[in-house]
Structure 1
Amino acid sequence: MKTWLLIGMSLLSLTTQAITVEVVGSAPLTSSVSYAREQALEDAMRQASLRAGAQVSSTQLMDKGVIEQDDVRVRSQAQLSNVQVLWEDQLNGLYQVSIRADVKPEAMCPASTQRYRKSVAITGFGLANPAQATLGRLQNIEQDLSRVLVNTLNDRGAIHALDASQTSLYQDPRRAPSAETAQQRLTTSVALATQFGAQYVVSGVVRDLAMIGEAREHVARQSDTHWLSLMGFEADSQARRFVVDVYVHDGLSGAMLFQRSYATEGDWDRRRTEKTGFATPQFWQSGYGHEVRGLLVDVVDDVDEVLRCQPFMARIVKTRGQKVHIEAPAGAGIRPGDKFQVYRTGTFYNLDLEPRTELSDMATEVVVKQVQPQFVVAEMKLGAEHLAVQRDDMVIAW
């Protein structure tokens, strides 16, 4: 008896930003030079595509425990642009071609057509080392970083971002998120999502705002800066780091959906005595602010992409006969006539007795009849009592 075994593995990059790569392709000179050149160029372009991520699949055909066929396929759907041939050469029976190209990875869920705006609460970003914010008076970064993300996400229109900047998800930012147990994460993020009526929660920690080389040059710079400032001059600008961790939690289960650390550096060319503040016009005009702005664009791109791949979910808050009230704002883009599937929420425990949220398909749907500013009214074919639909069940659009 023959058995097929299919193993798939995805190695896709998250970011959808294009990257520039340089690769060398090669092909044997077994026939004409023009054919070898064409094959070498294809090899170079294939290598460039794989730099942006790949999907690896393995198919095995087994007969009585013996592998008869073992195929491994590597596929990339990255897009190449601005392809330039750098050099070509013939060496040891091979034709080689070097190219430079811009590579844009395949989107995480390119086939997704889900159009509803998901509600996302953006919490305050804790400072792992508050003393580093003293230079430039950047302490307001704990609230204003999240507000920058809120405004940018809302401007894009795909997400309904809510300002929860006065709330912190972690008691000790230095140890987030590893210090938080699964139960704490579930309780905190779910409670926050329920409070704001959000489907997801975005949080984070500012890890580093230090001047590069500050520890080695502190004494000398302190003396030089003092005398220069007395004479009306300022010391030369110095590179400063910016490192931030970003987390995305599901507001229903508390599970972490995304975690990534971002880092950059730029010239801090503001006066050391200036109270610049974070996200002020003076901050954005600095070389440092320019680099931070670019990094935050990457953060928004990734959060946008992660949440785009998630289903739209809203909580049922009231049932009466065939009518169902759903907690979803008008800004989510729901319209009369839209249909949603109904799911029952439940809890089960894994082997470590940790709670997990489970959604069970109730094989029924609701049709939206009214869209109010803060909620939606829908109807079912049968009464809620016949289908056992109750408060805290969910409606989902995939």
Structure 2
Amino acid sequence: MCAIWYAGISSVLLLLLSGSVQAQTVEVTGRAVIEISVNQAREDALTDALRQAGLTAGASIRSTQRLSAGQLDQDDMDIRSRARVHNVEVLREGPHDGIYELEIRAAVRPEAMCSTSQQSYRKAIAVAGFGLAQPSQATLGRLHNIEQDLPRVLISELNHSRFVQALDASRISLYEDPRRAPSMETSQQRLTTSVALATRLGAQYVVSGVVRQLGQGNPGKQAEPEPQAGWKSLLGLDRATPEREFVADLFVHDGLSGALLFQRTYQGSGAWTPERNASVGFASPVFWGTPYGKEVGHILEAMVDDIGEVIRCQPFMARIVAARGKRIHIEASGGTGIRPGDKFQVYRTGTFYNLDLEPRTELTDMATEVVIKQVQPQFVVAEMTSDAASLAIQRDDLVIAW
């Protein structure tokens, strides 16, 4: 199921409830209602206890609120633990008045995000065009350029991060019918389109999306007349400011396997103040100056944050495009931050099929590493200690930095 993100005011906070990074011992009690069976309630109570133990050491809190007409009508909060729980010991357990209680003692160690990652290379992301599900809705304000200019705004913002190298693929659409994306695609079709684009641009991830709604939320709704509206307001001649909706889906695919890593729907609305026949254009200064444009800007900021969150802790991967003797060429640009002397692990790529005969990409550690010797603008050259042919290293295998 796709998660719905109502963008308005969003924040991400990291609460460190314990100042020490050393493991600490905690005792907590998990509870669960006995409904299906006692065994199921016990499992749920244990899960609750482990969650409580993890939250004592640290938590990531994402709060999302939406304001409408000055009133708060949506308030969501997502809490995730940033800790490891181990050495769990059950102290007491049993049913009581229809509730199963389970008390545990456990060691909890706070863990920072990406604590084991030593690499800081910029991961290449190809940002494709955003489909427009209902083109007729773009007529108001002449926003038809949104299909290319929305991803270009994302590209510009993503490139401000030291972890991302965003590549412009805004003129390429992954979906023939945006109204049905991505459910219209079979897993094999998603694999083909996203992998083909990633291979073409040398990207590790592919970002795409669909703009679902640009229409007026309630065209018949009349705005409250302002005190300064003057005689036109008194005579009922003033024009109501329409409230316009913005709904968009964001997809992040893995460039190697084509797997859908992230999907979220973003929604917001704001007053559309330009004249009805005005040619505004998406992302123009006039557009950003409207209440509607400011709301869309908040949504795009949330998209950029989520994309960064998805890939931040992922390993850096790049394809091998040629292997001759001990020398290999790797598809990675100088903008990734790779430097001579850096070391990477070599992995062989293969395919296996699940029970539904759907292809899956498998990586095999070749237990060998390469050392970067040259960094060119569009590729890098590395050397191995062994001959590539002796390990059957070939095109489309990978080098990885964890």
What TM-score do you get using the length of structure 2 for normalisation? 0.71
> What is the SS of the residue equivalent to 1:304?
helix
In the TM superposition, what is the alpha-carbon distance from 1:77 to its structure 2 partner? 10
Q: 1:124/1:74 Cα in 2 relative to 1: closer, same or farther (>3 Å)?
A: farther
Q: 1:234/1:361 Cα in 2 relative to 1: closer, same or farther (>3 Å)?
A: farther
Q: In structure 2, give the amino acid aligned to 1:136.
A: G
Structure with the higher helix share, 1 or 2: 1
Q: How does 1:131-210 map onto structure 2 within 5 Å?
A: 131-210=136-215
> Aligned partners of 1:385 and 1:196: how far apart in 2?
27
**Residues 116, 334 of structure 1: 8 Å contact kept:** yes
Aligned residues: CA RMSD: 3.2
> Aligned partners of 2:12 and 2:289: how far apart in 1?
25
> Aligned partners of 1:61 and 1:72: how far apart in 2?
4
- Choose from 123, 128, 131 the match for 2:128: 123
In the TM superposition, what is the alpha-carbon distance from 1:307 to its structure 2 partner? 1.1
> Aligned partners of 2:293 and 2:301: how far apart in 1?
12
**Residues 90, 104 of structure 2: 8 Å contact kept:** no
Confirm whether residue 375 of structure 1 aligns to residue 372 of structure 2.
no
> Aligned partners of 1:197 and 1:367: how far apart in 2?
20
Give the structure 2 partner of residue 9 of structure 1: none
Give the structure 1 partner of residue 79 of structure 2: 53
Give the structure 2 partner of residue 273 of structure 1: 277
**Residues 267, 286 of structure 1: 8 Å contact kept:** yes
Confirm whether residue 248 of structure 1 aligns to residue 252 of structure 2.
yes
> What is the SS of the residue equivalent to 1:373?
coil
Q: 1:133/1:207 Cα in 2 relative to 1: closer, same or farther (>3 Å)?
A: same
**Residues 125, 204 of structure 2: 8 Å contact kept:** yes
> Aligned partners of 2:113 and 2:262: how far apart in 1?
13
**Residues 123, 163 of structure 1: 8 Å contact kept:** yes
Q: 1:242/1:75 Cα in 2 relative to 1: closer, same or farther (>3 Å)?
A: farther
> Aligned partners of 2:137 and 2:112: how far apart in 1?
37
Structure 1 gaps, min length 5: 1-12, 20-44, 63-68, 79-105, 219-227
String of CA shifts for 1:187-228, please: whole Å, max 9, x gaps.
1100111111111100000111111212x469xxxxxxxxx9
**Residues 54, 76 of structure 1: 8 Å contact kept:** no
In the TM superposition, what is the alpha-carbon distance from 1:239 to its structure 2 partner? 1.7
Q: 1:300/1:74 Cα in 2 relative to 1: closer, same or farther (>3 Å)?
A: farther
> Aligned partners of 2:212 and 2:163: how far apart in 1?
28
Confirm whether residue 17 of structure 1 aligns to residue 11 of structure 2.
yes
Q: Which has the larger radius of gyration?
A: 1
Structure 2 gaps, min length 5: 14-54, 62-76, 92-100, 223-231
**Residues 236, 269 of structure 1: 8 Å contact kept:** no
Q: What fraction of aligned residue pairs are identical, expressed as a percent?
A: 60
Q: 1:48/1:317 Cα in 2 relative to 1: closer, same or farther (>3 Å)?
A: closer
> What is the SS of the residue equivalent to 1:18?
strand
In the TM superposition, what is the alpha-carbon distance from 1:380 to its structure 2 partner? 0.6
Number of residue pairs the alignment of both structures matches:
314
**Residues 204, 247 of structure 1: 8 Å contact kept:** yes
> What is the SS of the residue equivalent to 2:128?
strand
Q: In structure 2, give the amino acid aligned to 1:17.
A: S
String of CA shifts for 1:225-259, please: whole Å, max 9, x gaps.
xxx9xxxx972322211111100000110001111
Q: How does 1:296-335 map onto structure 2 within 5 Å?
A: 296-335=300-339
What TM-score do you get using the length of structure 1 for normalisation? 0.72
